[in-house]
Structure 1
Amino acid sequence: MPLNKVYILTNPLNHEGGIVNYYNLFLKYFKSDVITLKHGSIGSRSYLFYYPFLKRLLYPFYYLFDLLVYTLTLIFDRNIKIVQVSPSLIPVPLVRDALLVIIAKLLGKKVVVFYRGWKLPTYKKIADNRLLKYFFNTVFQKNNLQVVLASSFREDLLNLKANKNNNIIVTTTAIDSTEIINEDLFKNSKLINVLFLGRIQNLKGVEELIDAIIALNENSQLLNFKFNIVGHENKKGYVNELMSKLENNNVPADKVSFLGRLVGKDKFRLYASNDVYVLPSYTEGCPNSLLEALASGLFCITTRVGALSDLIIPKENGLFVNVSDSKDLLKAFQYCFENPAYNKNRKANAQLYSEAFSINKITQLFEAQYIKFLEKK
């Protein structure tokens, strides 16, 4: 088979977020004798992250510029055979990527749609509106290869009943397993060290986490815990608001640490030195941080959303809590304290998930799917 290119469109690779982190890893580790990858930028720029008004104002201009570059690239680079887009099921990304898909099809390219996020309200609007469903099925489902991050997402797509529906494969995001640090390098503390790592915003359940910490303190149980909160805030001053709330409720400052954004060895050392990972999100796709936590052997407390429902086995590698329920989160922390053997399989789980989520395994899966897709008439 001659060399073929897959043209992958995402936010600029210096942007924040799980999608960009995933593709930086994917582009680094993908190897093939018959396929090469090309990246193209689409959407907002990273320097506008903390300037939402300016971001919205400039977005159309960046998009039109990126769209022009994208179209010219498809016209002049005849080795591009597949275009891959990665929308979340949110109106703006869907509209943005719909035009990319339409142009690709008009120019005779095959299309891979890798759904990175799944908003149920958006899905229900599509499913309940005949016109929206027809548009979605025609653009995103027909004659495309679709990739989803949870079995429930696959069922949702099938329920839309698009004619001539292509294969829908379920995968996970991925980790660089060589970065995982063995927990034996660290001495175990009598405290239960709890880690939150992600964007610090209300949709990640951060406020419920803060309320659960306050409840532990009121019950005189916080002595048994230490919390580390890692990530960048979605709006300036939000971390200060959370810290003030803890202070106003007499939570000792040494019990909760806000460590900012960590990457590389610093991040993986933190995984290794903690016992529990908590992610009480309202909605998720398949967050890299959860895979990294599982591969580091942490016991994961999370909500039953997105791919999380496929990954967590209650009381074996974690617990589920209800969305937006700080009392349920409190009970999960109490379970860990009351059951000292809650994470007795840490080493075995770390080895299992390090292999299962390895980026090399994921890139091999995609290479096989690309080749199969190219051969399909």
Structure 2
Amino acid sequence: MANLLVTGAAGFIGANFVRYWREQNPKDGIVALDALTYAGNAANLDGINQVDFIHGDIRDQALVARLMADHRIDTLVHFAAESHVDRSIKGPDVFIETNVLGTHALLKVARRHWLDSGSGQPHRFHHVSTDEVYGTLGRDDPAFTETTPYAPNSPYAASKAASDHLVRAYHYTYGLEVTTSNCSNNYGPYQFPEKLIPLFIANALHGRALPIYGDGQQVRDWLYVEDHCRGIEQVLRKGRVGECYNIGGGEELANLVVIDTLCAAIDKAFAHDPMLAARFPDSPAAEGKATASLKINVADRPGHDRRYAIDEKKIRDELGYAPAHGFADWFAQTLQWYLANESWWRSIMDGSYRSWIADNYGHRAGVAV
């Protein structure tokens, strides 16, 4: 039996991880810590049994130390982060505060609790990072490996790179038992609707524009969130201390391909369920028109990385990980989840969030202000 502290547990990937871990490991203790900033939503954890939710900040070292002691934490899984590139371009300070200083605060508490106290307790600090720390790839470049030099190109990626280095340093300097995973683009239930897939689903259902940066040929590797959770579980159970593991979905797709897949799936869903037209009368699909008619091209964002690709050979060979969810089938499942959970995303897309979208995308996102 393990006792986990999961940071960022009310966010997209964190909440999916808590759900996954509780299903797979029903006897383990789970403490879910989240500051509930704009992307954190306590409702993401609704219905999960025997999870202690704590509303708090990872930078509050006294709070984290108390949780570690009171719950006898032996495993810390660190998801908490600011993660949206567009936001980091407009306001980088909070990314440094949360991703760098917040991670360092956790490392200091973990060191004091697990090492300086002299308890000798077996432990693991697992840090969840991103493929964006590696920079960008050309069309024919080999995929990122764990030895690819870091070359972050956005304030977000730079803040995650800094936190990765701190985690590594605490292992090699102090002996903290750490692992790091660098994942590709996640999709699935509970994703905050500022990211491409949930934002474009909501826009399409309301007949709003689908703004495509540049030519839409930026390539990403797409990873279903449950596969990501399984990969982290493999790292926690079998990963070598001090090592990094890339977790990918094995599906390199251009943004435009993802958007076209989304449009086609919405058209198909409306064709099969006449009730959708009544629920979303402003969608082109409600009138039998193509959702793709909403696509517009807008100026590319500054420093937009052209291609990410994950080489997951290390985690496959060492730990036996392989993604189990193909994009075509599981994107359809994801769309069905958003259609079935309209109240969830409507409750999130409130006035303050709509104002942020308007400030950053203007009329291009078709957001009514």
TM-score class, shorter: 0.3 to 0.5
- Structure showing greater radius of gyration is 1
Name the TM-score, length of structure 2 as normaliser. 0.37
Output the TM-score relative to the length of structure 1.
Answer: 0.36
